[in-house]
Amino acid sequence: MNHFKKNALSRVIAYFSMEIAVDERIPTYSGGLGVLAGDTLNAAAAVGFSMVGVSLLYRKGYFFQRIDEEGIQREEPVEWIVDDFLVEQPPRVKIRLEKREVTLRAWLYEIKHQDHTVPVYFLDTDLAENDPYDRTLSGFLYGGDERYRLCQEAVLGIGGVKMLRALGYEKIDRFHMNEGHSSLLTLELLREQMAAVGHEQASWEDIEAVRSLCVFTTHTPVASGHDKFPLGLVKQVLPFFPVHGELRDIFCCGDFLNMTYLALNLSHYINGVAKRHSEVSRMLFSHYEIDAITNGVHVPSWLSSPIQKLFDGYIPRWKEDIFSIRYAISIPLKEIWEAHLINKRLLLDFVNREKNMGMDIDNFTIGFARRMTAYKRPELIFTRLERLNAIARSVGPIQLIFAGKAHPKDEEGKKIIQRIHAIRPSLVPEIKLVFLENYDLALAKRIVAGVDLWLNNPKPPFEASGTSGMKAAINGVPSLSVLDGWWIEGCIEGTTGWSIGMDVFQLKEAKEGDYSNDRDAMALYDKLEKVIMPIFYKNPEAYALIMRSCIAINGSFFNAQRMLMQYVLKAYY
């Protein structure tokens, strides 16, 4: 029995997340946070570690994205059949919202790996006995107003703990909050603790008892990105919430309930999701000890079939020892390149079939797929169109594949999609540009494996980690990225990919006014024109060498099994 399986017999970790991606057909995620949660639970199943996932059921999903002929994003509810994928569980639990009792049920999804199973429970309020408003809390992910969000987060945190108890999880050793949305679980744990010792009011000893159970992972490097609710609304929705007394500062931040501060105050271990992100978080939350555990991806979930065949042939039992992926360094370059061309052909066939683009497998193809929002700077590559056009004419053709959703309330994000859509007429014939709609897990797997270069250019320091480049790397696709998030750790210049703009030391000293879109765009163009594209077009063997290094160096480290091992050693014991 391996080390993790021994641990599994003695420890149970409850992993709470507002979104969890367990299957591309189940729309219970919107992006990176949910995909990370799914990868974490998949890693636990793979290594035999006892975890249980808790999230909300979203009957209408995040949204189904359509983009019309003018580049305008249209959002539609996602239509899916819940009981085609999930199994309803018998228990019913009740929580109090405002002056109503709300009944919850849970739906089970099982992540299975050989002889180990990790259960994931999705909480549902769509029951006939509930108030019509409360039934809608199982509607949309990240939808509605402040009241709707607070009610959803109460269902997740308070209802999640109650449901686990009803399902028989009497002893849970750690409650891991993946971002602050679930931090109301600390209130339910506090209520349990007070009941166990017969306290009518919480004591500092009760607070410490709850703190010893809780782990908090923060993902947001800016203060404005953290959920907070006015105390007036909190008292309306959660009339039992302790907004008075000597412990008030544990629960409140000024005149608001700040979900991040609640989690920070009631967790014994706190971490950011990359080394740089933890530094930024320590500056943002200077009174707290914030460690770093850099994110990773579940390799089998993201590995393309052609690359997996190479692993199976050259790295025996790699699934049992994920770190052995470093031996990919011995795979012949010719076979790396041929596997990549299979992936590229699959992607371009899909693009050409769906969008009538006529993209060519011999042409240099760049991928940019993620949430469409301003700080990600999706338009950076189009800053100077005359320069981009000149590069395509002088060095070689360029194919650009974009995808991503803008939040329904992010008007600037929607305008970014429109502007990208409108750029095509200004491009020379040597550049083909496509924006693929309804970015999801299935489309992400096609793109990260099939492009020649993964582009990422967020405005520092707003990228907490980023995992899309890790998914590309495991498939042999190098990144061209700003040095932020995980790429500070993953970039070996010219070996695993390339950087854009300021180096690490310059970034640490940089102030808000030092960041320049124009300067970063020029750096991006220089790398494409003078370094990356000449290698691709003139020395494909050298490009394949970089691809192989991506796999062996970054794939063997930036994976979810390594990440989970660090949580076990640092947070769960």
pLDDT for position 253: 74
The residue whose two tokens read 């959803």 is 152
Distances (CA, A) of 248 to 203, 234, 245: 12, 13, 6
Residue of 37, 17, 50 lying closest to 572 (CA atoms) = 50
* Least confident interval from 229-233, 245-249, 366-370: 245-249
Confidence band of 510 (pLDDT split at 50, 70, 90)? low
Is residue 493's pLDDT more than 50?
A: yes
Model confidence pLDDT, tens digit, residues 290-301: 999 999 999 999
- pTM, full prediction: 0.95
Q: How far apart are CA 484 and CA 376, in angstroms?
A: 11
Residue of 484, 269, 263, 448 lying closest to 369 (CA atoms) = 448
Q: Is there a cis peptide before residue 461, judged by omega within 30 degrees of 0?
A: yes
Model confidence pLDDT, tens digit, residues 4-60: 444 444 589 999 999 999 999 999 999 999 999 999 999 999 999 999 999 999 999
255 versus 96: the higher-pLDDT residue is: 96
pLDDT for position 6: 43
pLDDT exceeding 90 applies to what percent of the chain? 89
Q: How far apart are CA 164 and CA 125, in angstroms?
A: 16
Radius of gyration of the chain (CA): 24
Q: How far apart are CA 266 and CA 279, in angstroms?
A: 21
pLDDT for position 403: 99
pLDDT for position 252: 75
Confidence band of 212 (pLDDT split at 50, 70, 90)? very high
Find the Cα–Cα–Cα–Cα dihedral 320, 38, 89, 146, rounded to 10°: 160
Is residue 72's pLDDT more than 80?
A: yes
Confidence band of 242 (pLDDT split at 50, 70, 90)? confident
Q: Is 146 exposed, middle or buried (0-12, 13-18, 19+ CB in 10 A)?
A: middle
* Least confident interval from 154-158, 168-172, 198-202: 198-202
> Cβ(42)–Cβ(85) under 8 Å?
no
What does the pLDDT average to over 377-394?
Answer: 98
Rama region for 182: left / alpha / beta (φ>0; ψ in -120 to 50; rest)? alpha
What does the pLDDT average to over 387-411?
Answer: 98
What does the pLDDT average to over 138-162?
Answer: 97
Domains of the chain: 3-225+264-296+564-570 (3.40.50.2000), 307-556 (3.40.50.2000)
> Cβ(296)–Cβ(36) under 8 Å?
no
Q: What is the DSSP letter of 493?
A: B
State the number of CA atoms in the 13 A half-sphere of 358 facing the CB. Answer: 5
The mean pLDDT of the chain is 95
Give every CB contact of residue 445 below 8 A, 6+ residues apart in sequence: 302, 304, 471
DSSP notation for 422-484 = HHGGGS-TTEEEEEESS--HHHHHHHHHH-SEEEE---TT--S---HHHHHHHTT--EEEES-
pLDDT for position 227: 87
pLDDT for position 195: 96
Q: How far apart are CA 84 and CA 105, in angstroms?
A: 17
Model confidence pLDDT, tens digit, residues 413-458: 999 999 999 999 999 999 999 999 999 999 999 999 999 999 999 9
Q: What is the DSSP letter of 77?
A: P
pLDDT for position 11: 82
